Amino acid sequence: MATMPASASASDLLKSFKLKTKQQELLIRVSILCLVYILAFITRLFSVLRYESMIHEFDPYFNYRTTLYLTENGFYDFWNWFDYESWYPLGRIVGGTLYPGLMVTAVLIYRILRFLRFAVHIREVCVLTAPFFASNTTLVAYFFGKEIWDSGAGLVAAILIAVCPGYISRSVAGSYDNEGVAIFALLFTFYVFVKAVNTGSLAWCLASAFGYFYMVSAWGGYVFIINLIPLYVLVLLITGRYSMRLYVAYNCMYILGMLLAMQIRFVGFQHVQSGEHMAAMGVFFLMQVFYFLDWVKHMLSDTKLFQAFLRITVTSAVAVGGIALGLGMVSGYISPWTGRFYSLLDPTYAKDHIPIIASVSEHQPTAWSSFMFDFHILLFLFPAGLYFCFKRLSDATIFIVMYGLTSMYFAGVMVRLILVATPAVCLISAIAVSATVKNLTVLLRSKNKVVQTGSTKGSGGSKSSSKALLDQSQPFQKNGAIALLFGAFYLLSRYATHCTWVTSEAYSSPSIVLAARGAHGNRVIFDDYREAYFWLRQNTPQDAKVMSWWDYGYQITAMGNRTVIVDNNTWNNTHIATVGRAMSSYEDEAIEIIRSLDVDYVLVVFGGVTGYSSDDINKFLWMVRIGGGVFPVIKEPDYLVNGEYRVDKGAAPKMLNCLMYKLCYYRFGEMMTEYGKPPGYDRARGVEIGNKDVKLEHLEEAFTTSNWIVRIYRVKPPNNRW
């Protein structure tokens, strides 16, 4: 307000209020940050605008259900919750098998709002948690950028991360998942740790330990932190950047962070017992050896003697460490790496050994197009930023470079890890943008400044002499700089447009309500999932057990309030394989399995009518693979014809008669789906189905939603007289 030009009469008065340049800059910075904060929040509200305020996808439904339980029953009941509605009949100790950070955060926000007399429902809080934390992430990005480069880079980083699609994909309103808060926690921990390394202050170390604790409580991705930070420390040690600051920062953060992390039931003793956490412990001991050697060097004046001592100490330390690790591995005290960890290091591992990990679409290796889609120009700015970082190496820039490079690798291995790479990419790109723009503007302004004052203030000070040199050598430099600036702003505006478009078109779909374009360009909404779950809730007995493929487990328990056999928490491969086996067997074999699991209803998802392609028939080969992995009677080639997967007349006989095929295509043969096509034309696969005369013996159709997307079958009781 005060900077706005005022009328002549008041100008004198205002002059006394006129801010100094520094204050002006602060004001601009704060207002930019505020706008970015708001922008980050509202750009994530597209999903509410397009659909409604609802929980998205699969895992968020579990999180929502647990949050609801937490609000209703309090923390101790939540902590000890034994959920007998999932994984029937095994049950699941929910309190001990989840990361409670998200739920506790949401409930805390809910309680605060309630305390302030805002009568909100917990669902609204859950829906808006991810956007809120995305806003907070922008603030952290600003401070992080400021810490590693300067406040300009921080501001750019904040803006870039606010709208970056790689992050938005996981944090739109309704995407109530661990990642929503975890990215905030991740970036916060890194920022505070870098701050601690830069200052060597115990207070920042403590803050980073707590940041780490929050991250551990929120997401399994904390393993990335506990491996990246030791790696970073190791690199600093090797490059001779060891300092007391680093020693204090790492030791304090590691010990406190480890102790705090052990308080999370799901993590427990993994920090001292699991192979994935051993790197951190090894580096911790290495630090002590380093410190000890430093001390000995200080005490010993003789360099030769010290060299000998160094050799002995290092060899014996490595030997002791190696023996300890070997003994731990052999005795089973230290658990080997998990499959997920292996599949990160070796992208082909899951495909060969763990079909259940490979079957998830977000665990697939990333395609180039999705890098382009999620990062847009950042993909080109990233190497430029790396160049600037290498030009001005410091402890902080080394950290961001390492974060950027490792996370980029992981992003290439798994689609979902693009999310982890996004903050690093935004920060590094911000450095590139900020440094370039600053250099260009310095060029633009330098001539006047050089003429008038001869020295520039603040930012461009050190470079002014070189600018002056360049000035003389390149006559069209100023015009070139203007052109480049316009180019940069054009690119950035393209980025903004792209991000908005991606958010509104691609990443706001809740995937539980499907939208399609009708024949006249109008929007058609398929709300079949909720229709089916509501039917289950209203029309089945309270203790009915529903068997479906594990993808729908969380949704059935959360929305249908019915017991499921398997769900998205894929902890028991055998149980999932049993369901896979039932789905891929003939009906009379399947009914034995179904009865042994006390199943009352079988639910399948079928897209043949609407052309919805992620249905159970398209997932079916994974069921066969997972089932066959445990029960060798299920063989994948039985379902294929010459290695080809088909459902039409040429399909394998076992395929045409297995339970999944029958349940999906029951009565479908009579149906006209598309004009000019024969009845029983499957629109998702574009073929006429091979077995139109499906007869069910032990199951009967109980409910089919209006667009046939969800079909529910009742298991008939055994024949009365047979």
Partner 1 sequence: MGKLWLICIASISILLPFLCNAFSPETPTDRRVLVLLDDFAIMSSHSLYFNALKSRGFDLEFKLADDPKIALQRYGQYLYDALILFCPSVERFGGSIDVAAIVNFVDSGHDLIVAADVNASDLIREVGTECGVDFDEDPSAMVIDHIGYAVSGTEGDHTLIASDDFIKSDVILGGKKIEAPILFRGIGHAVSPANSLVLKVLSASPSAYSANPKSKLSTPPPLTGSAISLVSIVQARNNARLLITGSLSMFSNRFFRSGVQKAGSQIKHEKSGNEQFLTEISKWIFHERGHLKAVNVKHHRVGETDEPALYRINDELEYAVEIYEWSGTSWEPYVANDVQLQFYMMSPYVLKTLSSDKKGLYSTSFKVPDVYGVFQFKVEHQKLGYTSLSLSKQIPVRPYRHNEYERFIPAAYPYYGAAFSMMAGFFIFSFAHLYSK
Q: Which residues bind partner 1 (CB under 8 A)?
A: 76, 79-80, 82, 84, 88-91, 93, 543, 563, 596, 717-722
- 85 vs 177, which CB is nearer to partner 1? 85
DSSP letters spanning 19-41: PPHHHHHHHHHHHHHHHHHHHHH
What are the φ/ψ torsions at residue 552 (nearest 5 degrees)?
-100, 5
Least CB distance from residue 265 to partner 1, whole Å? 8
Say whether 710 sits in a helix, a strand or coil.
strand
Q: Estimate the share of the chain in helix, then strand, then coil, as percent rounded to the nearest 5.
A: 65, 5, 30
- 62 vs 88, which CB is nearer to partner 1? 88
Least CB distance from residue 264 to partner 1, whole Å? 13
Least CB distance from residue 84 to partner 1, whole Å? 4
Least CB distance from residue 557 to partner 1, whole Å? 14
Least CB distance from residue 593 to partner 1, whole Å? 11
- Give, as one character, the DSSP assignment of residue 365: P
- 453 vs 720, which CB is nearer to partner 1? 720
User: 634 is written with which tokens?
Assistant: 């299920």
Least CB distance from residue 543 to partner 1, whole Å? 6
DSSP letters spanning 132-175: HHHHHHHHHHHHHHHHHS-HHHHHHHHHHHHH-HHHHTTTSTT-
User: 548 is written with which tokens?
Assistant: 């479906």
- 453 vs 719, which CB is nearer to partner 1? 719
How many CB atoms sit inside 10 A of residue 319's CB? 10
- 80 vs 614, which CB is nearer to partner 1? 80
Describe the crossing of helices 278-299 and 222-238 by its angle, rounded to 10 degrees. 30
How many CB atoms sit inside 10 A of residue 660's CB? 25
- 89 vs 679, which CB is nearer to partner 1? 89
- 84 vs 292, which CB is nearer to partner 1? 84
- Give, as one character, the DSSP assignment of residue 525: E
- 79 vs 490, which CB is nearer to partner 1? 79
- 101 vs 680, which CB is nearer to partner 1? 101
- 331 vs 720, which CB is nearer to partner 1? 720
The set of residues, in sequence order, having a beta carbon less than 8 Å from that of 67 and lying 6+ positions away, is 102, 103, 106, 107, 122, 126, 176
Q: What is the phi-psi region of residue 511: left when phi exceeds 0, alpha when psi lies from -120 to 50, beta otherwise? A: left
CB neighbour class for 562 (10 Å; exposed up to 12, middle 13-18, buried from 19):
buried
* Euclidean distance between the first and the last CA atom of the chain, given in angstroms as a whole number: 87
3-state secondary structure string, 243-284? Answer: CHHHHHHHHHHHHHHHHHHCCCCCCCCHHHHEHHHHHHHHHH
Q: Which of 238, 260, 131 is nearest to 189 (CA)?
A: 260
- 297 vs 595, which CB is nearer to partner 1? 595
For residue 579, give Cα distances in angstroms to 217, 351, 590, 603: 31, 20, 9, 12
Least CB distance from residue 89 to partner 1, whole Å? 4
Least CB distance from residue 563 to partner 1, whole Å? 8
- 563 vs 610, which CB is nearer to partner 1? 563
- 407 vs 563, which CB is nearer to partner 1? 563
Give the span between the Cα atoms of 710 and 687, in whole angstroms: 20
The set of residues, in sequence order, having a beta carbon less than 8 Å from that of 635 and lying 6+ positions away, is 628
Give the span between the Cα atoms of 259 and 483, in whole angstroms: 55
Q: Which long-range contacts (CB under 8 A, 24 or more apart) does 147-150 make?
A: 147/191, 147/194, 147/195, 147/198, 147/396, 148/194, 148/389, 148/394, 148/396, 148/397, 148/399, 148/400, 148/427, 148/431, 149/388, 149/392, 149/397, 149/430, 149/431, 149/434, 149/435, 150/434, 150/459
